């Protein structure tokens, strides 16, 4: 069975619009549609945006979504048996299997990005990758810091064995960096492409606003099961998918468990759909029998 994976924030790159149109000239029509939907020239940013511009959350999220979803529209070989997306990539995955239209999903992603950007500007926060330390130990240290100091620092992305991304306030991350290294972490690497505490309680105000938006949308049953970040389990129930997307902003991405569940459900091939490979190495580290194909 074929499993298609969609990357999230951090997979963007300069010139991604040009790259997309080189793959298929018809992509230009989708980029024009995206401009019309959003009311600004997102296509210009995809063609000419600088690295710094593309790191801004309210820009990053729609460009990543547009790239991945448009890529699936002209891929004749895109015949998934199951799909999943990492963080933001879950929205691309849902659009790819017609849970909502390209335009509906783009409006939703832009709303999400704007809400998250607002939080980023109000609360100095970020994310950091913890390498070489057991997930249970990392989670325990984060919990201790939050309870002792009141600073938010929590597990955010369970990416693969030996790599857990934490999320929190800048002060919380500062304390965590010291304690995690003392606890045996090989390194704690602060992520430069992310300027906010995604998948943490810091995003609670954004979650509440996004919930109101999502609840007004009409979701259709996806064509194939979508494995969701919050539960790591598949769903084709529109209401369940909505509830999980709402919880998505403040809950961790259970990627390791999600990939393991896909394999348990008889996934035999993995394909990554994005501007550059990000998830393939994670899948291989989760299960060395699999070497995903980057499309």
CB 280 within 8 A of CB 294: yes
Q: Tell me how many helices (H) and strands (E) the chain has.
A: 13, 10
β-sheet bridge partners, residue 226: 83, 235
Instruction: Read off the DSSP letter of residue 292.
Output: P
Six token digits for residue 293: 């194909």
Which listed residue (86, 195, 199, 248) is catalytic? 199
Find the DSSP H helices in the chain: 16-23, 27-38, 42-48, 51-55, 57-73, 89-96, 102-122, 135-149, 170-182, 204-215, 238-248, 255-264, 280-286
Asked about 199 being catalytic, the answer comes back as yes
- Virtual torsion, Cα 274, 101, 235, 6, nearest 10 deg: 0
Its sign, for the CA torsion 8, 13, 17, 20, is negative
CB 54 within 8 A of CB 63: yes
CB 34 within 8 A of CB 42: yes
Which listed residue (27, 43, 87, 251) is catalytic? 87
Asked about 195 being catalytic, the answer comes back as no
Active site residues: 87, 199
């Amino acid at each position: 069975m074929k499993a298609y994976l969609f990357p999230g924030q951090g997979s963007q790159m300069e010139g991604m619009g040009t790259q997309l149109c080189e793959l298929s000239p018809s992509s230009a029509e989708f980029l024009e549609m995206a401009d019309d939907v959003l009311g600004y020239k997102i296509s210009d940013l995809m063609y000419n945006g600088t690295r710094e511009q593309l790191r801004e959350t309210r820009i990053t999220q729609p460009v990543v979504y547009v790239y991945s979803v448009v890529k699936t529209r002209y891929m004749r070989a895109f015949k998934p048996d199951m799909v999943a997306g990492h963080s933001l990539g879950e929205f691309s995955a849902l659009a790819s299997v017609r849970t909502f239209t390209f335009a509906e999903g783009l409006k939703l992603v832009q709303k999400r990005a704007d809400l998250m950007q607002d939080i980023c500007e109000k609360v100095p926060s970020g994310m950091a990758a913890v390498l070489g330390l057991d997930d249970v130990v990392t989670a325990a240290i984060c919990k201790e810091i939050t309870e002792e100091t009141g600073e938010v620092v929590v597990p955010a992305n369970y990416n693969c064995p030996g790599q857990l991304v934490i999320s929190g306030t800048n002060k919380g991350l500062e304390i965590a960096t010291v304690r995690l290294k003392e606890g045996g972490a090989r390194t704690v690497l602060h992520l430069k492409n992310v300027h906010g505490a995604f998948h943490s309680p810091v995003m609670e105000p954004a979650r509440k606003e996004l919930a109101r938006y999502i609840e007004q949308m009409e979701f259709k049953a996806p064509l194939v099961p979508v494995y969701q970040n919050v539960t790591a389990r598949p769903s084709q129930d529109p209401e369940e998918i909505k509830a999980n997307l709402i919880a998505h902003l403040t809950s961790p991405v259970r990627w390791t468990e999600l990939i393991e569940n896909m394999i348990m459900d008889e996934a035999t091939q993995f394909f990554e759909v994005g501007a550059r490979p990000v998830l393939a190495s994670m899948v291989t580290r989760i299960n060395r029998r699999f070497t995903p194909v980057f499309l």
